Amino acid sequence: MDPTAPAADVFDPALPWRRARSVALRPEPFGALVYHFGNRKLSFLKSKTLVTVVETLADHPSADATLVACGVPEAQRPAYVKALADLARSQMIEVRA
Amino acid sequence: MTAVVPQRPTGGRLVDQFEYGLDAPICLTWELTYACNLACVHCLSSSGRRDPRELSTAEAEGVIDELQRMQVFYVNVGGGEPTVRPDFWHLLDYAIGHDVGVKFSTNGVKLDRERAAQLAATDYVDVQISLDGATAEVNDRVRGTGSFATAVTALENLAEAGMKDFKVSVVVTRENVSQLDEFRALTDRYGAQLRITRLRPSGRGADVWDQLHPTQAQQRELYAWLLANGDRVLTGDSFFHLSAYGEALPGLNLCGAGRVVCLIDPVGDVYACPFAIHEQFLAGNVRGEGGFQRVWQQSDLFQELRSPQTGGACTKCAHFDACRGGCMAAKFFTGLPLDGPDPECVQGHGESALAARDLDLVTPRSHLDHSHTGPVRGQPTLLGMPAIPTRPTPAPPARICDESPLAGVPLG
């Protein structure tokens, strides 16, 4: 674990994020399986849009901007922010320096 | 026969998605050899003697290459006793070097100080030591004289080497279910983690299942213990049949056979799960054209297993959503119908089903038996004194579909 990472229980969608470097995504029919080689945790992305969001976090200035760019409807944004917060907590995504 | 393949739903709970299978397994067990120095009475793979057809080093490397391509991020390696394969340490390094993490199960026979130090210095490797009693008396009766001492020495070596998060793996039986707190104290002493799994009537386990499987009262105690201690113990999701008591246990409450789980046996045969070494659950062989990937993704058997159960006695039960009918292998090897109750159904339907079996019923047996054919040093005494073995008294311990990768994952 990167000791300089911010407290993992705080997820700020205004910050720039990316898929953590030690994390791999495996495509699955329902979305993807997420594996962290460091802490050996496994998680799941339950929609293909969420997969695109996680994969493109690094291309946008913030998580919020990523959701907009991926066309996530306004009404679904809170659910996506919650999903990203869960991924941040398990270190699957990390803040870009 | 062409089965109508049901359509996978979009969205919904993960557990419902898992019923339709994944593109690659999450929990792959790979038994490297049928050879074992022990002769545990309940060995699920009837191990003991090496099979001459076992995969060569090059073939095993080929399987690892394929797992890497399929993004199978880790495997549970067992046997037999995997460490008696001369190329075991090489294959371990090869897997780790190809992004395939390894957890291996062992009785500890090869874990001297030097190996323990080597393991402690390696990332992506995890070890679990099999122990089926918290005392030598209880353990050695099923695993053989001296096996407790061997396991404890291995635990000492690992702890001394600074190895973190290694496991002690226990198959819960009628004789050790009262020792769960003792097991916990023992694992705490070495900084290890306790993992408990269910006894299946597979392999030689079928011979001792009547004698060793927990009673209904013990199952109730086990359930209470898991609810109270579940966050600190690993179970490989193997007790999901207990969820029908009321509260769901953490993890995947679903039979994962051929859906998220499978077994590659020492000769490269692919079975639906580690507890189902029987021709009926044999999907193919990694040596065949298309390798493991084709077997996983295209075999008729696995296609068939990847559909929700829609019929049978269990679907009418109020608890069906909790236990999903229980363990396929447990039903099969006790001669029960696969769409009916688990033999250990906590609602009591299993006992009635067992009692209703035809008296002439011959329960299915695996076509494979690698049990030692002669006496084994320190062989277990559960089945009587070993002077003249009534049955070849054989080998290794239950290797389970390991530590749950899903524990704590919200599957709602």
pLDDT in tens, B194-241: 999 999 999 999 999 999 999 999 999 999 999 999 888 999 888 989
- Pick the residue from chain B with its C-alpha nearest to A27: B23
Cβ pairs bridging A and B (under 8 Å): 48
**Taking CA B78 as the corner, what is the angle to CA B397 and CA B139, rounded to the nearest 5 degrees?**
20
ipTM of the complex: 0.84
Residue B296: list chain A partners with CB under 8 A. none
B101 close contact with A: CB closer than 8 A = yes
3-state secondary structure of A51: helix
Q: Do A26 and B23 touch (CB under 8 A)?
A: yes
- Pick the residue from chain B with its C-alpha nearest to A26: B71
pTM across the whole model: 0.89
Nearest chain B Cα distance for residue A57, angstroms: 22
- Pick the residue from chain A with its C-alpha nearest to B409: A43
Residue B403 pLDDT greater than 50, yes or no: no
pLDDT band at A51 (very low <50, low <70, confident <90, very high): very high
3-state secondary structure chain B: CCCCCCCCCCCCCHHHHHHCCCCCCCEEEEECCCECCCCCCCCCCCCECCCCCCCCHHHHHHHHHHHHHCCCCEEEEECCCHHHCCCHHHHHHHHHHCCCEEEEEECCCCCCHHHHHHHHCCCCEEEEEECCCCCHHHHHHHHCCCHHHHHHHHHHHHHHCCCCCCEEEEEECCCCHHHHHHHHHHHHHCCCEEEEEECCCCCCHHHHHHHHCCCHHHHHHHHHHHHHHHHHEECCCCCHHHHHHCCCCCCCCCCCECCCEEEECCCCEEECCCCCCCHHHEEEECCCCCHHHHHHHHCHHHHHHCCCCCCCHHHHCCCHHHHCCCCHHHHHHCCCCCCCCCCCCCCCHHHHHHHCCCCCCCCCCCCCCCCCCCCCCCCCCCCCCCCCCCCCCCCCCCCCCCCCCCCCCCCC
DSSP state of A6: P
Nearest chain A Cα distance for residue B11, angstroms: 7
The count of C-alpha atoms lying within 13 angstroms of the C-alpha of B407, restricted to the half-sphere facing its C-beta, is 18
Nearest chain B Cα distance for residue A60, angstroms: 26
Which of B23, B74, B101 is nearest residue A29 as measured by Cβ atoms? B23
Residue B8: list chain A partners with CB under 8 A. 29-30
Mean pLDDT for the stretch of residues B81-100: 97
Which of B11, B24, B409 is nearest residue A42 as measured by Cβ atoms? B409
Interface test with A, best of B26, B165, B252, B293 (most A CBs within 10 A): B26
DSSP state of A41: -
Residue B405: list chain A partners with CB under 8 A. 40, 42
| Portion 171-230 of B in contact with A at CB < 8 A | none
Contact B139, B131 (CB under 8 A): yes
The pLDDT, as a whole number, for residue B388 is 44
Contact A51, A34 (CB under 8 A): no
Nearest chain A Cα distance for residue B239, angstroms: 20
Task: Kindly report, residue by residue over B113-172, the tens digit of the pLDDT.
Answer: 999 999 999 988 999 999 999 999 999 999 999 999 999 999 999 999 999 889 999 999
Q: Do A29 and B73 touch (CB under 8 A)?
A: no
Mean pLDDT, chain B, whole residue set? 90
